[in-house]
A and B are shown apart, each in its own frame.
Chain A
Amino acid sequence: MNDNRPKQTDRQVLRVDNLRIEVKTDAGPGPVLVDDVSFTLCKGEVLGLIGESGAGKSTIGLASMVYTRSGCYITGGKIVFLDNDLRELNSDQRRNTRGVKIAYIAQSAAASFNPALTIYEQVCEVAVRHGLMNFADAKREAIKLFRELELPNPDTFGDRYPHQVSGGQLQRAMAAMAMVAKPDLLIFDEPTTALDVTTQVEVLASFRKLIREHGTAALYITHDLAVVAQIADRIMVLRHGKMVELGDATQILQHPTQEYTQKLVAERVAASTHEFVESDESGEALLKIDRVSASYRTLVKVINGVTLDIRRGDTVAVVGESGSGKSTLARILVGLLPREEGDIRFAGESLPPRLKDRSKDQLRRIQMIYQMPDVALNPQQTLLEIIGRPVSFYFNKSGDQVRQRVTELLRQIDLPESFITRRPGELSGGQKQRVSIARALAAEPELIICDEVTSALDPLVAEEILRLLKRLQDELGVAYMFITHDLGTVKRIANKVAVMLKGQLVAFGPTPKVFAPPFHPYTELLLSSVPEMRADWLDEVLAKRRQLV
């Protein structure tokens, strides 16, 4: 560990005792979101909160400044911050604590900054509004923080507007905003989740540096064990609002005692140590994308001269950071964005560039599964309508035959037959994603495009979905084009991988070959950015990058 780290004192910053948070509705008491959670946090200490969505991580984070989302109420427990029970303060006193002594760093900096004000105005606002310093002093402090956070041109960075800086820079600017009033406690709520892996490394490193140099206590909320391993001294594992395990970071990550934690850790270890899928070249050619280019009504090509081919039974992963053109490639393939140059041949015949010029059968053979199951399924339709529509639409089946086929498909995706009358609102995220898969299968396609299908799901659920996709492929021989930014997923299911950068293909081939030396420099950067659970991983990556520069 770093030696220049301030000595941990025993000064307690935050103590939460038996916290209980409930939802209250007009109809009476709702679910209990947080149940009997207790922890303490000392100066200079970082506590990681880990758990799946709905575990109550963010609710606890917000409750640490006695704030709850509307409809939720803190109904029990104590929140002691620097010897004051925050629950007993009046609203003025609370306001003087929030932002000044406790600061919050949200997941999406882009949504948290006001686009109409410069970064300075927003970073300095808290300190000025609370009368802690005048604008000039606050500005000086902000520049100091920008420098510590290694932002480019720290002296003038704050003059820019939020849209003029990158996502990673904005996330760091939010950390500066939180630190400007020199708080005693920082709450990080998934601050790197929305960033690309390559950016995440840098942002994570500057957060860690900031916390260590200022000796601030911090709550770090995340769903990624590998991220929390880099930054937290202790980790608390949560599930369904209850504490599962609380312990030293190394103990939790290496010797978890509870079954649930063991499962989480095992899943993460499996993701990073999985063997490559062997490439099989025996399948006949299915899809050939030949020097395809396209643009969005501008002269800049968003996809430029991409060539790749997919054989029957292949799983081709398309990876790259956001903006690299992964999803655009899929849109070109299905005809939503007409290609301008090149050719796409599917099973020997050239596909028309536009969706509306394609025949029903051409449409049927390529299906798509989306990232967000919540918006991919019509909330007003039952599963019978959702899954049954492609059956009746493409195959002209009668009502009885459709129902029979839907039942069969539900069985294939491991959902009970009784779900046929349910609507998406009555399903969990993982179940909805299964329904999306069933809808794609109902068309009996030869190629399924999976656009980030697991990234909105919790790790254990995502794992199940991947296993289901693999099993269906073995049974039906369908080919997948798997768009993802998660390289762990790629290793596990793809026999081929295509690496995209700025609309161009920089590497394409069998996964073991692309992911082994000699690398394309960008592939190497991507691979090295995937967080690992070792606590010294971040230091290693940073050292390596420094060498390269």
Chain B
Amino acid sequence: MRLFGHKLTASAQIGLVIIAINVVAAILAPIIAPYPEADIVGTAWGPPSAEHWFGLDNLGRDVFSRILYGARMTIGLGLLITLLAFVLGTIGGFAAAVLGRWVDTVLSRLADLMLSMPTLIFALVVLSVMGTDIPVLIITVGLLYSVPVFRLARAVAMNIAVLEYVEAAKLRGEGLWWIIRREILPNALPPLVAEFGLRFCFTFLFIAALSFLGLGIQPPQADWGSMVKETGQMIALRPIALYPAGAIALLTIGVNLVVDWLLAIHSRGHGEEV
């Protein structure tokens, strides 16, 4: 099997299969889920059975159905938040590295300011003031996560910006946008792609924490993070929390298997050591 003109390794194939299963589950959730997302269909903490494959949760909702529905929220939100964080972070980081001087100073001190506040507290304050609509959630968490991305992008771009091909572009008279997009971005991609894989997974956990505090996804909507929180206390008696936790772990592994492969083909294409 080949992708982007490169042969897929066994681990990359496994990763892609995992991601595909998750995406299909998210898209087709209303069709394939045996029960609605929020309906109470049995007794609380009911054991797994033929009707309820993964058992029932603390309120008596079908865990399997909720995992399917939760995939929509979790993957969708995670993707949007991570994308936003990367757009803001990389543009800011690259601009700081290329322009230097006051642009770098202002952006970097702003990042320091954000880092000096505990992320959870910051999110809580913003969400309690602005409300817990999903767009607000995306923008808040995206903004928070753009800070570490900014710092990484700036550090990577700093190393590239001093190379002579960037100087050659400056001497040619190229503008900032060209230098960022054509000279720096393609060469800064490997560490950023790796970070993307990790950041994407961190978002589930962060949203789970927010949901637990009542400011994330509002019940009865399902997302994997809050499902872990809801069923976690009873883990010794009814290990239901393992299902959503396992789903998070599986997707994380799948994403990272593909990321590893992307990094490997990227470096192999240029004769560097993997």
B154-202 contacts to A, CB under 8 A, are: 163-165, 167-168, 170-174, 182-183, 186-187
Q: Which residues of B contact A336 (CB under 8 A)?
A: 167, 170-171
0/1 interface trace, chain B 262-274, chain A, CB 8 Å (1 if under): 0000000111011
| B165 close to A375 (CB less than 8 A) | yes
| Complex-state Cα separation, A394 to B171, whole angstroms | 12
Name the B residues within 8 Å of A502 (CB-CB): none
Task: Given the known inter-chain contacts A368-B168, A423-B270, please indicate yes or no for A378 contacting B173, CB distance below 8 A.
Answer: no
CB < 8 Å: which of A71, A355, A376 contacts B168? A376
* A71 adjacent to B273 (CB under 8 Å): yes
CB nearest neighbor in B for A442: B172
Query: Complex: how many Å from CA A461 to CA B187?
Result: 28
A425 contact from B167, B174, B271, Cβ within 8 A: B271
CA distance A367 to B274 in the complex (A): 35
Task: List B contacts of A26 (CB < 8 A).
Answer: 274
Partner of B186, one of A360, A375, A378, A425: A378
Contacts of B273 in A (CB 8 A): 71
Selected contact of A363 from candidates B172, B187, B274, CB within 8 Å:
B172
CA distance A378 to B163 in the complex (A): 9
CA distance A219 to B187 in the complex (A): 40
Q: How far is the CB of B202 from chain A (nearest CB, A)?
A: 28
Contact digits for B198-219, partner A, Cβ 8 Å, 1 yes 0 no: 0000000000000000000000
- Interface pair A425/B171, CB less than 8 Å apart: no
Docked pose: A355 CA to B174 CA in angstroms: 11
- Contact residue range for chain A? 20 to 34
Q: How far is the CB of B269 from chain A (nearest CB, A)?
A: 7
Flag whether A395 is at the interface (Cβ < 8 A).
no
Known: A71-B273, A378-B187, A425-B270. A360 touches B165 (CB 8 A): no
Taking the nearest CB of chain A, how far is it from the CB of B178, in angstroms?
9
A345 beta carbon closer than 8 Å to chain B: no
Chain B, residue nearest A26 (CB): B274
Q: Which of B168, B187, B269 has the largest count of A CB atoms less than 10 A from its CB?
A: B168
Would you call A372 and B270 a contact (CB within 8 A)? no
**A370 and B164 contact, CB distance less than 8 A:** yes
Q: A479–B180 Cα gap in the complex (Å)?
A: 32
Q: Is the CB of B164 within 8 A of A376?
A: yes
- Across the interface, which residues of B come within 8 angstroms of A380, CB to CB? 186-187
Bound-complex Cα distance A393 to B178 (A): 11
The CA of A381 and the CA of B186, in the complex, are separated in Å by 9
B100 to chain A, nearest CB (A): 13
Residue picked from A355, A360, A380, A393, most chain B C-beta under 10 Å: A380
Does A377 sit within 8 A of B, measured CB to CB?
A: yes
Partner pick for B171 among A368, A377, A381, A389, CB 8 A cutoff: A368
With both chains docked as a complex, state the minimum distance between the C-beta of B8 and any C-beta of chain A, in angstroms. 15
Are A379 and B270 within 8 A (Cβ)? Answer: yes
Task: Note all chain A residues with C-beta closer than 8 A to B168.
Answer: 368, 370, 376, 439
Does B165 contact A393, Cβ atoms closer than 8 Å? no
| Chain B residues closer than 8 Å to A372, beta-carbon distance | 164
How would residues 364 to 398 of chain A score, 1 for a CB under 8 Å from any chain B CB and 0 otherwise?
Answer: 00011010100111111100000001100110000
Residues of B within 8 A of A334 (CB): 171
- Residue pair A376, B165 in contact (C-beta under 8 Å): yes
Residue in chain B with minimal CB distance to A443: B172
Task: From A71, A376, A393, A439, give the contact of B173 (CB < 8 A).
Answer: A393
Whether B172 pairs with A389 at a CB distance below 8 angstroms is: yes
Tell me how far the C-beta of A431 lies from the nearest C-beta in chain B, rounded to whole angstroms.
14
Report which of A375, A389, A394 forms a contact with B163, defined as CB distance below 8 A.
Answer: A375
Cβ-defined contact, A363 with B173, below 8 A: yes
CA distance A381 to B173 in the complex (A): 18
A518 to B182, CA, bound (A): 53
Give A379 to B172 CA distance when docked, in angstroms: 18
Return B164 CB to nearest CB of chain A, in Å.
Answer: 4
A:421-444 near B, CB below 8 Å: 423, 425, 439, 443
Contacts of A394 in B (CB 8 A): 172
Known contacts: A71-B273, A425-B269, A425-B271. The answer to whether A377 contacts B165 by CB under 8 A is: yes
Closest to A361 in B: B173
Chain B residues in 8 Å Cβ range of A360: 173
Nearest to B270 among chain A residues (CB) is A425
- Bound CA–CA A394/B172 (angstroms): 9
| Distance A439 CA – B168 CA, assembled complex (angstroms) | 10
Compute how far the CA of A419 lies from the CA of B238 in the bound complex, rounded to whole angstroms.
64
Chain A residue at minimal CB-CB distance from B183? A378
Could you say which residues of chain A place their CB within 8 Å of the CB of B174?
A: 393
Chain B residues within an 8 Å CB radius of A425? 269-271
Proximity bits, A28-68, B CB within 8 Å = 1, else 0: 00000000000000000000000000000000000000000
A363 to chain B, nearest CB (A): 5
Distance in angstroms from B74 CB to nearest chain A CB is: 34
Contacts of A381 in B (CB 8 A): 182, 186
The contact string, 1 if C-beta is below 8 Å from chain A, for chain B 236-274, is 000000000000000000000000000000000111011
Chain B nearest CB from A472 CB (Å) reads 18
- A370, B168: Cα distance in complex, Å: 9
Cβ contact within 8 Å between B171 and A363: yes
For A386, the closest partner residue in chain B by CB is B165
For the complex, what is the distance from the CA of A368 to the CA of B168, rounded to whole Å?
A: 8
* A423-B270, A425-B271 given; A355·B165 CB < 8 A: no
A-facing mask of B108-151, CB < 8 A → 1, else 0?
Answer: 00000000000000000000000000000000000000000000
**A390 and B164 alpha carbons, distance in the complex (Å):** 16
Q: How far does the alpha carbon of A375 sit from the alpha carbon of B163 in the complex, in Å?
A: 6
Bound complex: CA A368 to CA B174 (Å):
15
Q: How far is the CA of A137 from the CA of B187 in the complex (A)?
A: 52
Whole-angstrom distance between the Cβ of A332 and the nearest chain B Cβ: 13
Assembly CA distance A376 to B172 (angstroms): 13
* Chain B hits for A370, CB < 8 A: 164, 168
Q: Give the nearest-CB partner of B269 in chain A.
A: A425
Q: What distance in Å separates the Cβ of B161 from its nearest Cβ neighbour in chain A?
A: 12
Cross-chain contact B270 with A375 (CB below 8 angstroms): no
**Interface flags, A326-361, vs B, CB<8A=1, else 0:** 000000001010000000000000000001001010
Closest beta carbon of chain B to A361's beta carbon, Å: 10
Interface members, chain B 77-106 (any A CB < 8 Å): none
Q: Select the residue from B167, B170, B172, B174 with max chain A CB neighbours within 10 A.
A: B172
- Residues of A near B171 (CB, < 8 A) are 334, 336, 355, 363, 367-368
Residues of A near B187 (CB, < 8 A) are 378-380
29 A-B pairs with C-beta separation under 8 A: A71-B273, A336-B167, A336-B170, A336-B171, A363-B171, A363-B173, A367-B171, A368-B168, A368-B171, A370-B164, A372-B164, A375-B164, A376-B164, A376-B165, A376-B168, A377-B165, A378-B165, A378-B182, A378-B183, A378-B187, A379-B187, A380-B187, A381-B182, A389-B172, A390-B172, A394-B172, A423-B269, A425-B269, A425-B271
Known A375-B163, A379-B270, A425-B269; further 13 A-B contacts with Cβ < 8 A: A26-B274, A336-B170, A360-B173, A363-B171, A370-B168, A375-B164, A376-B165, A376-B168, A377-B165, A378-B165, A378-B186, A381-B186, A443-B172
Those 7 A-B pairs whose CB atoms lie nearest each other, nearest first? A380-B186, A425-B270, A376-B164, A378-B165, A370-B164, A375-B163, A363-B173
Please give the residue numbers on chain B whose beta carbons come within 8 Å of chain A beta carbons, in ascending order: 163-165, 167-168, 170-174, 182-183, 186-187, 269-271, 273-274
Residues of A within 8 A of B (CB): 26, 71, 334, 336, 355, 358, 360, 363, 367-368, 370, 372, 375-381, 389-390, 393-394, 423, 425, 439, 443
